[in-house]
Amino acid sequence: MIYITRKESFNAAHKLARPDWSDDHNLEVFGKCANPNWHGHNYQLFVTVKGEINPETGFLVDLKWMKEIINEHVIDKLDHRNLNLDVDFMKDKLASTENLVIAVWDQLLPHIQQGGAILHCVKIYETENNFVEYFG
């Protein structure tokens, strides 16, 4: 079993706020992340797949293909967008990094499987110090 990871990046705005809570309660729970005028991050996305090496190519997967899958199904939908308002796969979800990483997993899973690999991990760095990993 071999593991291979592709890194991509995107910039996006969001706010953490529940619409069923008051502004004061959102501020109490989410702090400045509940700013009504949004805030943004320079996210780093790491997608790790695993499987067996193809003896004909020497690859698990072609990294060019992996880049295209990640960009088409994730980065192009997230980059320079508002996670709360613009991203179809985040509709009706609180735009936390935890929810985002699961939504990205769900976007990639069928395409990675179709390419003959196993999706192992999706990791998103929200800041240099904070990241979330999801293993399905």
Catalytic member of 14, 73, 111, 126: 126
CA distance 118 to 49: 5
Q: Which two tokens stand for residue 93?
A: 């979800």
The question of whether 80 is a catalytic residue gets the answer yes
Catalytic member of 28, 39, 68, 80: 80
Q: In which residue are the tokens 């780093």 written?
A: 44
Catalytic member of 8, 33, 41, 120: 33
Q: Which two tokens stand for residue 92?
A: 């009706």
Q: Which two tokens stand for residue 66?
A: 């992996």
Q: Which two tokens stand for residue 32?
A: 């400045």
The question of whether 68 is a catalytic residue gets the answer no
DSSP assignments along 67-113, one per residue: HHHHIIIIIHHHTTEETTTT-GGGTTS---HHHHHHHHHHHHHHHHH
The question of whether 126 is a catalytic residue gets the answer yes
Which residues pair with residue 13 across a beta bridge? 40, 82
Catalytic residue numbers, as ranges? 33, 80, 126
